Amino acid sequence: MSSDKTSSGHISETRWDDIQVGKTEAENYELTEAVYNHFLGLSGDINPIHVSDEEAVQRGFSKKVMHGGILHGFISHFVGMRFPGKRSLLLKTDLRYLHPCHLQDKLRLEAVVSQKTDAAKVLVLDLRIFREPEHIMVAAGQSLVRVQE
């Protein structure tokens, strides 16, 4: 799923006091055959646009389009494992899909802390997901994350 140490099971332990507005974190992901097949099995979503190159081409795409839910899974991994990590609870994610993703795409998820509410210990993360190496933004949005001590 990811190319750095969090994929091996390492969980980041970022503390609330170490988080500042403007802090930026990132993680790399890949839409591998294994990720795709696991999501198909989990979701049961076999809509032809997601499983048939021919159907996707008939609808104006170059090949089958990956499920947006996979991107949400990457966000869940990012928040729970990378940033903030162990002490986090993902409360909400709003994501807009800007360009389709395809099998074997390499993605970079970038998150910037845009708000920090001390009383509730809640962060707003501005999210952008890019297809690399072209650096084309495929999705953008926000997540609300509670950080528990």
Q: What is the third-level CATH fold of 20-147? A: Thiol Ester Dehydrase; Chain A (3.10.129)
Residue at token pair 């090949």: 63
User: Domain locations in the chain?
Assistant: 20-147
Residues 17-34: pLDDT tens digits?
A: 999 999 999 999 999 999
Are the CB atoms for 124 and 142 separated by under 8 Å? yes
Number of neighbouring beta carbons within 10 Å of residue 136: 13
Residues 75-111: pLDDT tens digits?
A: 999 999 999 999 999 999 999 999 999 999 999 999 9
Looking at residue 2, what is its pLDDT?
40
